[in-house]
């Protein structure tokens, strides 16, 4: 069973910055959806719904980075060998 090591101070700062970035970007999916709707390929259906879903998952991923037990799931921490 692999144990998770504690992140260094630099890693912690990076994780927090990444979390803030993902949460902010996810929030923008709801505040300014037009920017995201413009880049949706025409062959994909339900543009508005998919922009909202992707924004929701982006927010969840950012929050996941801030929860130590979930950080490994989101890729913030690597298992030590």
pLDDT digits (tens, 9 = 90+) for 7-38: 788 988 998 999 999 999 999 999 999 999 99
> Is residue 34 included in any domain, yes or no?
yes
pLDDT for the residue numbered 81: 37
> Is residue 38 included in any domain, yes or no?
yes
Name the phi and psi angles at 79, rounded to 5: -70, 135
> Is residue 57 included in any domain, yes or no?
yes
Domain ranges, residue 34: 9-71
pLDDT for the residue numbered 72: 60
H or E element in which residue 59 lies: helix 47-66
Span 50-72, pLDDT tens digits? 999 999 999 999 998 888 766 56
> Is residue 41 included in any domain, yes or no?
yes
In this prediction the pTM is 0.74
> Is residue 77 included in any domain, yes or no?
no
Taking the C-alpha atoms of residue 76 and residue 81, their distance in angstroms, rounded to an integer, is 16
């Amino acid at each position: 069973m692999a144990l998770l090591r504690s992140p260094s101070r630099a890693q912690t700062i990076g994780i927090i910055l990444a979390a803030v970035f993902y949460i902010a970007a996810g929030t923008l999916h709801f505040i300014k959806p037009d920017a995201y709707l413009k880049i949706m390929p025409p062959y994909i259906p339900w543009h508005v719904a998919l922009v909202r879903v992707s924004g929701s998952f982006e927010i969840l991923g950012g929050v996941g980075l801030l929860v130590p037990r979930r950080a490994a799931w989101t890729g913030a921490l690597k298992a030590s060998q």
